Amino acid sequence: MNNFIDAVNKVVGDPALTSALVALIPLIELKGAILFARASGLTFFTALGASYLGSTIVFIPIFFLLRPILNLMKKVKWFNSFANKVEAYFQKKADDVKKKKGRLGADGIKILGVLIFIAIPLPMTGVWTGTAIAVFLGLKFRQVILPVLGGNLIAGLIISVLAELFLPYVDYILYGLFALVIVMLVIFIVKVALTKPKKENEEPGHHTPEE
């Protein structure tokens, strides 16, 4: 693992920049980037800062490009079925958030749901999936900023503290994380494959992302 980390850092040229780039990768995101950064020898705050920056900034293109990309894929015969299944998968997750009731109002519950979802430091609960859910919840861009920033910071602090506590074993934790990422990727593909797209006359309630 050390040889692999050194090789990657050598290619990029800077461990902090490498960690920020690693944080852009789906499933690995903030959690894997912090572990990678600590294994690279970065300090607590440098590892957290670089990983947080990389994993957070990706929500902007996801928010504005997710629906256009899915709509474009629907027009291509080979990708039509996959795009519809992905859309249905995230719509289902968004609907689960909508079902929760509370005193915050409809939008307040949606925003809180996105924040909590991103704050949980587990695979498939990071900025990528959280932003996708926000899009299918019909939230506006300005409503998504704080949940993403706050939720990702909470997740980052939790992982950073755990990495500090188990720093001597960070290499083994990285091995475990990579294995878990592969498992979660397989599970995601299977779930998407088994998801039944809504029929054309059953339009899911959604709004175009606005600023």
Structure confidence by residue, pLDDT tens digits, 70-89: 999 999 888 898 899 999 98
Which of the 8 DSSP states describes residue 195?
Answer: P
Nearest CA among 97, 128, 100 for reference residue 32:
128
Given a cut of 80, whether residue 102 has pLDDT beyond it is: no
Given a cut of 80, whether residue 103 has pLDDT beyond it is: no
> Looking at the domain assignment, is residue 209 inside a domain?
no
> Looking at the domain assignment, is residue 181 inside a domain?
yes
Question: What is the C-alpha to C-alpha distance for residues 140 and 156, in angstroms, rounded to an integer?
Answer: 24
Question: What is the C-alpha to C-alpha distance for residues 64 and 33, in angstroms, rounded to an integer?
Answer: 24
> Looking at the domain assignment, is residue 34 inside a domain?
yes
> Looking at the domain assignment, is residue 199 inside a domain?
no
Instruction: For 111-161, write each residue's pLDDT tens digit.
Output: 999 999 999 988 788 999 999 999 999 999 999 999 999 999 999 999 999
Nearest CA among 130, 136, 114 for reference residue 59:
130
> Looking at the domain assignment, is residue 96 inside a domain?
yes
User: Which parts of 14-140 fold into alpha helices (H)?
Assistant: 15-22, 29-39, 44-57, 59-74, 77-98, 105-119, 127-136
Q: What is the DSSP string of 159-175?
A: HHHHHHHTGGGHHHHHH
> Looking at the domain assignment, is residue 130 inside a domain?
yes
Q: How many domains does the chain have?
A: 1
Q: Domain range spanning residue 105? A: 2-194
pTM of the shown model = 0.84
Instruction: For 25-78, write each residue's pLDDT tens digit.
Output: 998 999 999 999 999 999 999 999 999 999 999 999 999 999 999 999 999 888
120, 77 contact by CB (below 8 A): no
Q: What end-to-end distance do the CA atoms of the chain give, in Å?
A: 43
Given a cut of 90, whether residue 18 has pLDDT beyond it is: yes
> Looking at the domain assignment, is residue 159 inside a domain?
yes
What's the confidence (pLDDT) of residue 201? 45
Instruction: For 182-192, write each residue's pLDDT tens digit.
Output: 888 888 888 88
> Looking at the domain assignment, is residue 19 inside a domain?
yes
